[in-house]
Amino acid sequence: MDGGEDLRAAFDAAGVAAELALAHFRSGVSATPKADGTPVTEADLAVEHLLRDTLSRARPGDAFLGEEFGRLGDSDRIWILDPIDGTGFFGRGDPNWRIHLALEVRGSTEVALVTSPALRRCWWATRGGGSFESSWPRQDSETRPLKVSTTPTLAEAVLDALDDESRARLPPGAGRAPASPLPLVELVRGEIDAFLAERYHTWDHAPWILLVQEAGGRFTDPTGGRASDRGGGLYSNAALHTQLLASLHYPARP
């Protein structure tokens, strides 16, 4: 199967999942804490069930790794799912939540799709095929390629980070972006130059790593690699990445 076929399967699954998620969002749901303290709603559970069912029919034999139901199956093709990324937003009636899908094949993320049904936007990438943004549902006439910035120096850069503690670790000579619910969207649009996110899980990062890479940017996890399951890491444009790694004392690998 090529990336285009898998991307179509991802869009089909995201389409039905988005409708279900929107129905819950419009009617309102209550969030309850999980064992790790993070919130979950009935929508998270229902949407992940639907994503798994839809993709299983389209790609029998593929494995799954999801936030709510863990790992299922043994295959070198694994769909990584976050049914509602931004459950806190979702439970408060704030539209800045997303559905994440990524397909990993033999350890390499090959397809990424992030949809924001309540904002009517989506972002996607395939390995070697570029990154794109469109209205949601996707319309070819409204699709545009995504490119990170080319800012070459920290003195000119605008940076963001996940929280105040992380912002304090950023180089002092660079500018700071205003707080945003969608910082990685701003990065792939070229509106900011870097984002530090040293938290969360593989389903939070897997699609964004490919989206940033295919938009011409780079990602490094805290071990110096490019894995999505090392608690996040540094996303930035290519020109600034090495400088930022040095500032953060990250190991740099070729």
Which residues are part of a known binding site? 67, 82, 84-85, 204
Q: Which residues pair with 126 in a beta bridge?
A: 111, 130
Query: Sign of the C-alpha dihedral, residues 198, 182, 154, 252?
Result: positive
Give the span between the Cα atoms of 122 and 137, in whole angstroms: 8
Q: Which residues pair with 237 in a beta bridge?
A: 217
Binding residues for Mg(2+): 67, 82, 84-85, 204
For the chain, what is the radius of gyration of the CA atoms? 18
| Residues sharing a CB contact under 8 Å with residue 167, sequence separation 6 or more, in sequence order | 160, 161, 176, 196
| Residues sharing a CB contact under 8 Å with residue 89, sequence separation 6 or more, in sequence order | 95, 96, 97, 181
Phi, psi of 173 (to 5 degrees): -80, -10
Amino acid letter for position 113: L
Place of tokens 């930035």: 236
Q: Torsion over CA of 226, 189, 158 and 99, rounded to 10 degrees?
A: -60
Amino acid letter for position 196: L
